[in-house]
Amino acid sequence: MMGFADWLPSMPPPAVQDRLASVSAAQIQRCLVAGSGPLRDAPLLFSTAARPHLEAMAARARAITLARFGRTMNLYAPLYLSNHCINQCAYCGFAAHRKIPRSSLSLDEAQQQAEHLIKQGIRHLLLVTGEAPARYGLDELCRVIERLRPLVASLAVEVFPCDLAGYRRLVSAGADGLVLYQETYDPDRYQEFHPRGPKRDFRARLEAMEAGGQAGFRSLGIGSLLGLTPTRVEACYLAWHCDHLSRAFPQARLAVSFPRLRPVSGGAPISHPLADADLVQFIVGMRLLFPDAEIVISTREPADLRDRILRLGVTRMSAGSRTSPGGYSDENLDQEAGQFAIDDQRSVAEVAKAIRAAGLDVVCKDFDPAFMAAQPGGKA
Ligand code: SF4
């Protein structure tokens, strides 16, 4: 099967802009009655022309989510293991040129942070590092995964890209989810935001996600950092990437995130701000295109917005997050050494209360460990 990186040049950003601009009301109405698949429908559902149909799209998205996921919301929290990084991403607080306190957690410190979250009811952890393999690489990561695996229901990683052998090591150690954002699918703008470091290789990053799929991760998480480039174009690319991965790796559950760029001092400006209503449109449009995909909203977003979109298609939310190594035991660390400022500052208990108030159950455990153990070569 052709890789997504080989397909992408056939749909350059100006072509996507043209498709978004030429959408008619009749096309949207036809799409809402009978879709033709993500390739054709993504520009329809993410266009400005679809805005008058947002209520109908939201009602449909809500019904699909209820049918596929029930009244549930999966809560997770990030656990930052290291903020060392050799890249210089223009939008990130960990970029190599920034003068911030740098640290990596020891194995025991990582466990203490995890136990802090577990005490609050979190059973799904997302392990996060920068990219500095000489300081914090696969060996360190695998040791943490092996230590934490018995303590939680699922462990995903959002770390430096690996090759197939590297990802196989992570899966074998017990990681079940991979999160790797492309940040932008526009290859020229990508170069602007990634001036130095291995992350500058646009194609290698795209191909890493496919290596993750081949390695056997149960969940593959993708996202664009919305605010850097025209957001409707990015939403289309995200849908097409999701479509490609779902056909290439049907055994994996796809997870789509819509992180909006948060301000970082001296960092990339938010040159394409995304309004709340547009974010809602992307969420419900993605749900219509991919009924079974997880849709993820993090604490980057404000509490009131997160509460309002609880039942529109979102199935996974972070809660009580800190974005620095050790941030769960020292609340001040995030201010000087965090990756970005979170907006929803509520505790896990407060977020869980809001979810229950919306008539949903908080999922703290799921079938993953038992399911994985039952697979050939599986590991609980
Ligand atoms: S986004 Fe990731 S790779 Fe880029 S500077 Fe931040 S931590 Fe490093």
Instruction: Please give the pLDDT value at position 379.
Output: 44
Q: Is 89 in the pocket of ligand 1 (CB under 6 A)?
A: yes
Distance 129 CA to ligand 1 centre (A): 8
Global pTM?
0.94
Instruction: Please give the pLDDT value at position 378.
Output: 46
Q: Is 199 in the pocket of ligand 1 (CB under 6 A)?
A: yes
Half-sphere exposure of 108 (CA within 13 A, CB side): 0
Residues shown for the chain: 380
In order along its 380 residues, the chain shows pLDDT tens digits of 889 999 999 999 999 999 999 999 999 999 999 989 999 999 999 999 999 999 999 999 999 999 999 999 999 999 999 999 999 999 999 999 999 999 999 999 999 999 999 999 999 999 999 999 999 999 999 999 999 999 999 999 999 999 999 999 999 999 999 999 999 999 999 999 999 999 999 999 999 999 999 999 999 999 999 999 999 999 999 999 999 999 999 999 999 999 999 877 778 889 999 999 999 999 999 999 999 999 999 999 999 999 999 989 999 999 999 999 999 998 888 888 788 888 999 999 999 999 999 999 998 655 444 444 554 444 43
Name the architecture of domain 4-374.
Alpha-Beta Barrel (3.20)
Q: Is 50 in the pocket of ligand 1 (CB under 6 A)?
A: no
Distance 294 CA to ligand 1 centre (A): 24
Residue environment code for 245-264, b if the CB has 16+ CB neighbours within 10 A, otherwise e: bbebbeebbbbbbbbbbbeb
Model confidence over 101-121: pLDDT tens digits?
A: 999 999 999 999 999 999 999
Distance 131 CA to ligand 1 centre (A): 7
Distance CA 306, CA 300 (A): 10
What type of residue is 257? S
**Ligand 1, residues 81, 82, 85, 88: which to mutate, most atoms within 8 A of Cβ?**
85
Instruction: Please give the pLDDT value at position 198.
Output: 97
Instruction: Please give the pLDDT value at position 376.
Output: 45
| Average pLDDT taken over every residue of the chain | 93
Q: For residue 181, how many other CB atoms are within 10 A of its CB?
A: 16
Residue 165: both structure tokens together: 């052998």
Residue 362: both structure tokens together: 């908080």
Distance CA 152, CA 114 (A): 9
Instruction: Please give the pLDDT value at position 341.
Output: 80
Distance 240 CA to ligand 1 centre (A): 24
Model confidence over 253-264: pLDDT tens digits?
A: 999 999 999 877
Distance CA 202, CA 191 (A): 8
The answer to whether residues 152 and 125 touch, using CB atoms and an 8 Å cutoff, is yes
The ranges assigned to domains in the chain are: 4-374
The answer to whether residues 48 and 74 touch, using CB atoms and an 8 Å cutoff, is no
Q: Ligand 1 atom closest to Cα of 160?
A: 3
Distance 237 CA to ligand 1 centre (A): 21
